Structure 1
Amino acid sequence: MILSVNGIAVAVEADHPAELAAARELLRQRAVAVGLLDPSVEDDAAVESAVEALLEKEVATPAPTDAECRRYYEQNSAEFESGDLVHARHILFQVTPHVNVPQILARAEQALNTLLAEPDRFAAMAAELSNCPSGQQGGNLGQVGRGDMVPEFEKALFKFGALGILRELARTRYGFHIVAVDQRIPGRKLPFEVVQERIAERLRSRVEERALRQYVSILAGQAEVEGIHLEASPSPLVQ
């Protein structure tokens, strides 16, 4: 591909979009035009520094208002909820290649029936039977949130209303689990004040992205770009 911007050949690195290379050259040339970069300088770090100074000077990115942040908060409330948590224990009957799966399953079901009748024996049986290191701590997994475990195990942990020793084994890629849910902590909506800065940064990034895209389009509209199509705008904002 032969790519040039205002008659200057632009090298396109492998696995890098040609559009990005053309945009960078447009910005480099603009930095030269406004006196922020000597045209003879080719050092990448110096060019990047000049481009940053150019964008700071010519691309306006107003900070989002409190009202805009609050509106985003209300319209996207699910993003700002702390996740559900559970305190859980388990006993793992591991399934590995060449093991007798029906025999492992039978042992797991027998142990589950014992624990449903005698739940106080959970820690002792975890230490004796579990193939998970947690067995030495009574099977304790501590506080677990959504996404912390494999999906099959998570489904059992967060089954609606599940509490105490679950009456069915959880089956995962690792084997069969006896699961005890000791406590549930429902998720809650985080206060606006806690997430306001996070929202402001997200909205600010969006504004910067749009402004940069528009700025490059304006530069492209005033340049001769060959070898690639860049969206161009005839706007006279850039003098």
Structure 2
Amino acid sequence: MGLSVNGVDIDDHVIERELAHHQHAANPLKQSVHEVVLRTLLLQEADRLGLCMLGEDEDACIEALLASKVKVPQADDAACSRYYAANPQQFTNGELVEARHILFQVTPNAPLELLRETAESVLAALKAAPERFDELARQYSNCPSGAVGGSLGQLARGQCVPEFDAVVFRLEQGRLAERPVETRFGLHIVQVQRRVAGRLLPFEAVRERIADYLATAAWQRGVHQYLQLLVGRADVQGVTLEGAATPLVQ
């Protein structure tokens, strides 16, 4: 495919082998090419700096390079406290919602725009007459829950896809979401029927978890910035890297 990094050609077989690790990506080939290019850049830089010991595997070389080039400070109490105050939902145990939905599933025979028009029409009908939810769920929903009026029962945080979670745990009891919620499953009309308040864990109980999270996030940002630096000064032929994704060092 005419791919090279700093004058070193990348064989198509290398891309093919990498492809097996990215089958669930939005664009497996693009993700594989980017991963191979970034990994090659890291290995070239590690070799240039003399960080690859004889007989050492590639992952160890990359780890040595990143350890020498990416330095991040540990999160202090003030940073941890700010994160705790801004994200109380992450540290609340036992919070539940009882919700129901009407799913308009995207299929090859059901264009998204047509589904959106139908979902908006049904939502408007529900806003005018909320008591029709059970009836309309049975009539329109593509989810098995439609047979029981769209009921999903009690849900805990993280039980549903993030886009759905974000809505149901924000809605007030009895409220319909203002617009259909879009997820990979389709469009959902959502209503929260009941909320069960959780218990906020004390800061002392989660301070170490927050510090670990903030340190990891800082390290990932540092790696991203370092990769951007390497890409910026590299001669990469055959592909345009749109930013530098952080690779997973296996």
Aligned to 2:47: 32
Q: Which runs of 5+ in 2 are unaligned?
A: 20-27, 97-153, 161-172, 174-195, 245-250
Report the alpha carbon displacement of residue 204 of structure 1 after superposing the two structures with TM. 1.3
C-alpha displacement at 1:20, in angstroms? 1.3
Pick aligned residue for 2:211 from 190, 200, 218: 200
CA spacing shift, 1:195–1:225, aligned 2, 3 Å: same
Question: Alignment partner for residue 223 of structure 1, among 217, 229, 234?
Answer: 234
Deviation at 1:5, TM superposition (A): 0.6
1:21 to 16, 36, 44: 36
Where do 4+ consecutive residues of structure 1 move more than 3 Å? Answer: 145-148
Equivalence for 2:58: 47
1:21–1:84 Cα change, 3 Å = same
Q: Is the CA contact (8 Å cut-off) linking 1:70 and 1:192 kept in structure 2?
A: yes
Matched residues in 2 for 1:202 and 1:4: separation? 36
Q: Structure 2 CA distance, aligned partners of 1:30 and 1:222?
A: 11
State whether residues 2 and 9 of structure 2, in contact with CA within 8 Å, keep that contact through their aligned partners in structure 1.
Answer: yes
CA distance in 2, matches of 1:49, 1:78: 38
RMSD over aligned Cα atoms: 3.4
- Call closer, same or farther: CA 1:2–1:80 in 2, change over 3 Å: same
Separation in 2 of the partners of 1:232 and 1:73? 30
- Tell me the amino acid that sits aligned with residue 39 of structure 2: R
* Alpha carbons 2:93, 2:198 under 8 Å: kept: yes
Q: Hey, what does 1:116 align to over in structure 2?
A: none
Decide whether the 8 Å contact of 2:88 with 2:200 is kept in 1. yes
* Structure 1: runs of 5+ lacking an equivalent: 86-144, 152-159, 161-184, 234-239
Provide the secondary structure at the position in 2 that maps to 1:228.
coil
Return the TM-score normalized by structure 2. Answer: 0.49
Q: How many residues align?
A: 142
Aligned residue for 1:63? 74
Q: Distance in 2 between matches of 1:216 and 1:186?
A: 43
Q: C-alpha displacement at 1:61, in angstroms? A: 1.6
Give the letter for the 1:9 counterpart: D
Instruction: Give the Cα separation in 1 of the matches to 2:209 and 2:2.
Output: 42
The answer to whether 1:3 aligns with 2:3 is: yes
Equivalent AA in structure 1 for residue 207 of structure 2: Q
The TM-score normalised by the length of structure 1 is 0.51
In 1, are the aligned partners of 2:94 and 2:156 still within 8 Å (CA)? Answer: no
Aligned to 1:73: 84
- Report the secondary structure of 1:17's partner residue: helix
Q: For 1:100-141, what per-residue CA distance to the aligned partner results, in whole angstroms no more than 9, with x for missing partners?
A: xxxxxxxxxxxxxxxxxxxxxxxxxxxxxxxxxxxxxxxxxx
